Amino acid sequence: MSRKQTFGLICCFLAAFIWGTSFTSQDKAAEVMQPFTFQTMRSALAVLALTLVIGVRDIAAAKRGIEPAETAPRKFLVFGGLLCGLALAAATGLQQMGITNNTGSPGKDAFVTSLYVVFFPLIGLLSGRRAALHVYAAVAVALAGLWLLCMGGSSISLGDMQLIACALLFACQMTLVERVAPRVDVLRLSRVQFMTVTVVSALLMVIFEQPTWAGVRAGWFHIVYAGVLSSAGAFTLQIVGQKHAPAVPACLVLSLESVVAVATGLVIQHMVPTTREWIGMAIIFAAIVAAQIPGRAKKAEEAPPAS
């Protein structure tokens, strides 16, 4: 593995660690403000943080005479960032809605969200890339684990369904990032992405919610944590990681956010999963690992598009 690939996997791990710890913060934020209000605030803060970082970096680069490494025209950056942002807006919006409806279970929410790693190879079918048979078997196994994890009552809850949908949309966002990131500046791509999320979330906030400054003040720490670290930081690290690391290992490392989320919930909130939930999480994680086994899966990814 080259140094660039190793660097990419390190970025993916850092992103997974930050995302995993942010589930507890998002769970706490859901107690004091509505989903789209939280999304609007954190995304706007992410745009501000990224703008500051880009400004400092560009000034330093100009003094050293370094030219930008972009290989695509600006309209590609804008269009690609817009598509990534729309997918991310839908994914994070549904995620926060699911967390709001499942308040008090950040570890479980993280494991359901991590199903994006299983959905990721399935989306490749849309572009003519077939996955190996063991990937589809892993999907069936993951669904069995999901049933154990979510079916505490007689049916899957609304929050669980929203998180499953968000996992599918995160897989779409990751697919788009994989296509766009190699040709553009990662920081600018991340900024365009979060500008889109901010606009979409703000519109939905105005239409469906009644935001209050009291709620924003009560959740300011969670907004800052999710905006600066989880959004501006971790999602940019995701883009860098996917730009340099192979797709399969990158997705597997990113899915470790679920493990971090459970550990964080145990340490900070003293939330201990039930035996049924432990078994469900173990099955889902095993399916995620199995779906990312290299070899046949790699060959399948490299298969030519169907005509």
**pLDDT, tens digit, for every residue of 255-296?**
888 888 888 887 877 777 778 878 888 887 887 777 667 644
Rounded (10°) CA dihedral 284, 96, 92, 57? -110
What is the rounded average pLDDT of the residues 68-96? 89
Quote the pLDDT of residue 292. Answer: 65
Residue appearing with tokens 């290299």: 294
280 within 8 A of 36, measured Cβ to Cβ: no
| Percentage of the chain lying above the pLDDT 70 cut | 89
Tell whether the model's pLDDT for residue 44 goes beyond 50.
Answer: yes
Choose the weakest-confidence range: 94-103, 116-125, 234-243: 116-125
Is residue 36 in some structural domain?
Answer: no
**146 or 174: which carries more pLDDT confidence?**
174
Mean residue pLDDT of the chain comes to 85
Quote the pLDDT of residue 297. Answer: 40
The 8-class DSSP code of residue 255 comes to T
Is residue 307 in some structural domain?
Answer: no
Is residue 21 in some structural domain?
Answer: yes
pTM, entire model: 0.83
Is residue 179 in some structural domain?
Answer: yes
Quote the pLDDT of residue 24. Answer: 87
Q: How confident is the model at residue 298 (pLDDT cuts 50, 70, 90)?
A: very low
Which range of 127-136, 151-160, 179-188, 243-252 scores highest in mean pLDDT? It is 179-188
169 within 8 A of 91, measured Cβ to Cβ: yes
Tell whether the model's pLDDT for residue 106 goes beyond 90.
Answer: no
Is residue 214 in some structural domain?
Answer: no
Domain total in the chain: 1
Is residue 65 in some structural domain?
Answer: no
Q: Which domain holds residue 123?
A: 3-27+41-59+72-209+220-301
Nearest by Cα to 198 from 85, 99, 29 = 85
What is the rounded average pLDDT of the residues 81-98? 96
What is the rounded average pLDDT of the residues 221-234? 95
| Percentage of the chain lying above the pLDDT 90 cut | 48
What is the rounded average pLDDT of the residues 53-68? 85
What is the rounded average pLDDT of the residues 130-139? 73
Q: Which two tokens stand for residue 29?
A: 């934020």
Quote the pLDDT of residue 127. Answer: 67
Quote the pLDDT of residue 265. Answer: 80
Is residue 276 in some structural domain?
Answer: yes
Is residue 88 in some structural domain?
Answer: yes
